[in-house]
Structure 1
Amino acid sequence: MAELSLRKLTAEDIDLLEEQFQSVQGAGEAQWFGFWDTTKLRTRLDQDQFIGSNDGALAICLGERTIGKVDWFTITNWGRANTSACWEIAIGIFEPFRGQGFGTQAQRLLIDYLFAHYPQHRIQATTALENTAERRCLEKLGFHQEGIIRQAQWRAGAWHDQVIFSVLRDQWSS
C-alpha cells in the first residue's frame, strides 16, 4: 500500500483543489462555503509556496497522488500575539479518500511537523458540531475538547456551532 506523506503544494495541486472543492459534493457539507476565488491560491503559491511565518498549507499525498491538503494559521484570540499565539489546523480530503483514516494520518504528520519546526506550545482545531468524523479524529489524535463556540460559522444559509479542541506540546506523542 502507498505511504501517506505531506509536501509543498504545486500548481497542479491548486488545479486539483479547485476541481475537487468547488462544489458541495466535493468539499462536503461541513466545508462548503460557496464558490471561491482560486487566483488568490495561485498568487500565494508564487509568493511563498504556502510556507509563511503566520500560516501555511501542504499537499496530502498517497504515494504520488494528491488526495487533499492541510493548513495551519496563527490564532491570537487568547491574548497578545507575542505571548499567546497558537496554531489552528484545518484539513480537506478529496471525497473518494474520506473515511479511510487518511485524515487522521495527515493531521498527525502535520502536528509532528509544526511541533518540530515552530515554537508554538498549543495547536487547536475547530469543527462543525455535526462533523462527528472530524471530532472522532481529533480525539483519536489526543486533542481535548474545550467547548462549543455558539453560532460561529455561517454556512448553507444558517449559523452553525463549532467545537474547539486543542493539544499542547507536552501532551503530544506521535
Structure 2
Amino acid sequence: MRQEQEETVAPSVRLRPVREADLAMFRRFLTEPGLIGLDWTGFRDAQEPARRFAADGYLGAENSRLIVEAGPEQDAVGFVGWHATGYGVAKFWEIGIALLPEWRGQGIGWRAQAMLCDYLFTHTPAERIQAGTHPENAAEQRSLEKAGFRLEGVMRSVEFRAGRWRDGWLYSRLRSDPAPE
C-alpha cells in the first residue's frame, strides 16, 4: 500500500508598517522570558514600544521595524528590524528578526528576511546588509543562507547572555549577491 505524502506549502508572507495593535506583541517579547529565544536579555521596559510608536511609528532614519504577517488570515507573527551601522562614512544595515514560537520552522523567517533585503536594496543606497546569530542557532543560520546571506566568520565574545560572554556568527548579503529564488 502506497502512503500519500502531504505537500507542505509555506504560508504566504508579507511585511507591513507597525500598527498600534502590534505593540502588545512587542511588550510580550520584552516581558516573557524565553519568548524571543536565545536573545532574551532580561526584563525590559514594557512601555518603551508605545513611546517609540508615538515618536515615529517604528520608521526612523537610523533604525526601523516592520511587522511580518503570515498565514491565511495574515496574522502578525513577528517583526523584522534594521539599524544603521558601519565604518566612517561607509554605512550599511544590520537586520534582525523575531517570530512568535508557533510560527517558527515554517519558512517564514527566511522569506521575511529576503523580502526585507529586497526592500532595503530598493529604497536605500546600501551596498551591504549584515546579520548576526548565535553559533547554536542552526535554524537561523539556514534561514540566513536561504535568504542569500553568506557566513563571514566568528565575532569573538560579542554578546553577554545568560551570565557570560559568547561568540556570534556574522553573515552578510551584498547588493551584487544573487537574490534567493
1:73 aligns with 83
Residue 47 in structure 1 maps to residue 55 in structure 2? yes
Q: Which has the higher helix share?
A: 1
Greater CA deviation, 66-75 or 164-173? 164-173
2:3 aligns with none
Gaps of 5+ in 1: none
Residue 135 in structure 1 maps to residue 141 in structure 2? yes
For 2:82 and 2:115, locate their aligned partners in 1 and report how far apart those are by CA, in whole Å.
Answer: 12
For 1:44 and 1:20, locate their aligned partners in 2 and report how far apart those are by CA, in whole Å.
Answer: 15
Residue 151 in structure 1 maps to residue 157 in structure 2? yes
For 1:136 and 1:163, locate their aligned partners in 2 and report how far apart those are by CA, in whole Å.
Answer: 12
User: Is the 1:148–1:161 Cα contact (8 Å) retained in structure 2?
Assistant: yes
User: Is the 2:111–2:147 Cα contact (8 Å) retained in structure 1?
Assistant: no
Q: What residue identity is the alignment partner of 2:116?
A: L
Deviations 1:63-87 (A, max 9, x none): 43100000000112xx21x2x1110
TM-score by length of 2: 0.88
1:18 aligns with 27
Residue 124 in structure 1 maps to residue 134 in structure 2? no
User: RMSD across aligned C-alpha pairs, in angstroms?
Assistant: 1.5
User: Is the 1:129–1:160 Cα contact (8 Å) retained in structure 2?
Assistant: no
Choose the corresponding residue for 1:35, options 24, 37, 43.
Answer: 43
Count residues with an aligned counterpart. Answer: 169
TM-score by length of 1: 0.91
SS at match of 1:60: strand
For 2:139 and 2:154, locate their aligned partners in 1 and report how far apart those are by CA, in whole Å.
Answer: 16
For 1:12 and 1:18, locate their aligned partners in 2 and report how far apart those are by CA, in whole Å.
Answer: 11
For 1:173 and 1:156, locate their aligned partners in 2 and report how far apart those are by CA, in whole Å.
Answer: 35
Deviations 1:68-123 (A, max 9, x none): 000000112xx21x2x1110000000010011111011111111111110110000
User: Is the 2:27–2:47 Cα contact (8 Å) retained in structure 1?
Assistant: no
**1:24: how far off?**
3.1
**1:47: how far off?**
1.2
Residue 7 in structure 1 maps to residue 10 in structure 2? no
Using the aligned pairs only, state the percent identity: 35
Which stretches of structure 1, 4 residues or more, deviate above 2 A after TM superposition? 19-25
